[in-house]
Structure 1
Amino acid sequence: MTFSIVARCADTGMFGVAVSSSSPAVAARCAHARAGVGVVASQNVTDPALGIRALDLMALGASAPQTIDVLRASSGHMEYRQVLSVDCKGNSAIHSGPRALGTWAEAKGQDVACGGNLLANPDVPARMVEAFAASSGHLGDRLVAVMKAALAAGGEAGPVRSAGMKLVDQVSWPVADLRVDWSENCPIEDLSSLWTIYKPQLADYVTRALDPSAAPSYGVPGDE
């Protein structure tokens, strides 16, 4: 019921994750990222604690493959889980348990890992990795393009209803944490529209946190 991408921008070191599902508010459970450390998607009969633990392991110096090995060896019910990870060096690793739902698949490369379950066909993650490799520009733009490519490749077997994207870069909080928790239309198109609005303001929100005296106007009535 989910397909996702976790990725690192090799030029900037920014990490990002994008995810969509037929379930509501999928990004609230599945998307995990920490600046300077790594990015993780924990999905399929989801245990959000796996995402938090994976980031803690990578913060201690474990690579993405080592992190997945530790989770497999020490976490219960891993036969039900999918966990995708990319570390600070761009290494990628994926765990997909044999009891993942429906048609499931995974694909990875340098700086990127993609996976899904209850997919329309098993080629979807590979098409996502190809789309990421073919893309350029801001990581947020690339993630949105990959999610659209996933839909074009078949996406989930049924309609998706929620989507989200999280980006982290240099500061301790997400520089973007955009969610479409439910849509009767296409949540990925809704997410794309939201990103188009948010992207030009992203750096300003960081500035407002770090140095309010340098912050630009909010552009609302009463803000001089």
Structure 2
Amino acid sequence: MTYSIVAANADHTQFGVAVASKFLAAGAVAPAARAGVGALATQAWANTGYKASGLAMLSGGATAQETVDALTKHDERREVRQLGVVDAHGRSATYTGTACTDWAGGVAGDGYTIQGNVLAGSRVVALMEEAWLGSDPREPLARRLLAALTAGDTAGGDSRGRQCASIYVVGDEGTYGGDDVVVDLRVDDHADPVTELARLLGIHEMMFGKPDPKELMDLEGPLAAEVRSLLGQRGHIAGDVSSAELDRVLAVWAGIENLEARLVPGSLDPVVLAHLRRTGGGGVAA
């Protein structure tokens, strides 16, 4: 009832899982990951106990295959389980019990494992693997996971239909400060969950992405005038102000929009400018 990809980025500083299913909130059930340790997905008749136990084994130095073998060996219902694991070194292993509902199966390669059950056919997993291998290793891991998930969805995905999709990525540097979570997005119940997940990832990247120093624009001249005007239209500023005051008022607006991570005093990130032009004081603030 689920298809997933478990993977690491090229330098093994991030690990993640992307899942889609005709099942409510599978993203709350299937994935587990820890920075510096690895990631796994438990599905079919998911055994959520695999998550804590699996991460503990990986943390203790077990390989992906050793973890899969140990978790399934003493599980009396292992024949209805499905499991994918990637360890800290990018080694991978996938397991599909003999009693999982057709089509069920998986593939594993360097730094990734893909598996699914109750699928439209083997083509779902094959095209997910093709999309993963065809993606640019320099891209963010979340984007590569989404590409694979999208390929599976396009190929028919869960044979029963669509309901949920999720991406969970951890890394050496998390998004929220002191946490290893880089991306944690879930679409729990939606008619087109993978497309909605892509939209949410775009918002996440806008809010939490870091500005590219090569793309920063000096906040002066006509650009500063435009920013003053846009902020003024939304009641944040009035008339001509100093550069320091413009930075301050822009920061107030950016705080409302959750764009603080993209601010650089005296400069402007094109992403911030685009959002200011598009939505001003409204939009995605939470």
TM-score after normalising by structure 2: 0.70
Which residue number corresponds to residue 125 of structure 2? Answer: 125
Letter in 2 for 1:146: A
Q: Which residue of 2 aligns with 1:200?
A: 206
AA aligned opposite 2:197: L
Which protein has the larger Cα radius of gyration, Structure 1 or Structure 2? 2
Q: Which residue of the partner structure matches residue 182 of structure 1? A: 189
Confirm or deny: 8 A CA contact 1:84 1:95 kept in the other structure: yes
Question: Is this contact kept in 2: 1:180–1:191, CA < 8 A?
Answer: yes
CA distance in 2, matches of 1:52, 1:133: 29
Deviation at 1:51, TM superposition (A): 1.9
Runs of 4+ off more than 3 Å: none
- Whole-Å Cα distance in 2 between the matches of residues 21 and 30 of structure 1? 10
Q: CA deviation at 1:154?
A: 2.1
Q: Which amino acid aligns with 2:181?
A: P
Alignment match, 1:15: 15
Q: TM-score normalized by structure 1?
A: 0.88
**Gaps (5+ residues) in structure 2?**
211-250, 261-286
For 2:55 and 2:126, the matched residues in 1 are separated by: 25
Q: Compute the RMSD of aligned alpha carbons.
A: 1.9
Relative contact order, higher structure (CA 8 A, sep 6+):
1
- Encode CA deviations 1:125-162: one digit per residue, 9 max, x unaligned: 12211211110111111111111111222211121101
Query: Post-superposition shift, 1:203?
Result: 5.2
Contact kept in structure 1, 2:108 and 2:114, CA below 8 Å: yes
Is 1:36 equivalent to 2:36 in the alignment? yes
Return the offset for 1:76.
2.7
* Aligned equivalents of 2:73, 2:58: Cα separation in 1: 16
Number of the residue aligned with 1:210: none
In 1, Cα distance between equivalents of 2:76 and 2:60 = 22
**Secondary structure in 2 matching 1:108:** strand
Rounded Cα–Cα distance in structure 2 between residues aligned with 1:97 and 1:153: 23
Output the CA distance in 2 between the equivalents of 1:203 and 1:70.
38
For residue 213 of structure 1, what is the aligned residue in structure 2?
none
Determine helix, strand or coil for the equivalent of 2:186: strand
Q: Is the 8 A contact 2:12 2:90 kept in 1?
A: no
- Structure 2 distance, partners of 1:88, 1:130, is 23
For 1:219 and 1:159, locate their aligned partners in 2 and report how far apart those are by CA, in whole Å. Answer: 39
Deviation at 1:46, TM superposition (A): 1.1
The amino acid of 2:77's aligned partner reads: H
1:145 aligns with 2:151: no
Q: CA deviation at 1:77?
A: 0.9
Q: Which residue number in structure 1 is paired with residue 156 of structure 2?
A: 154
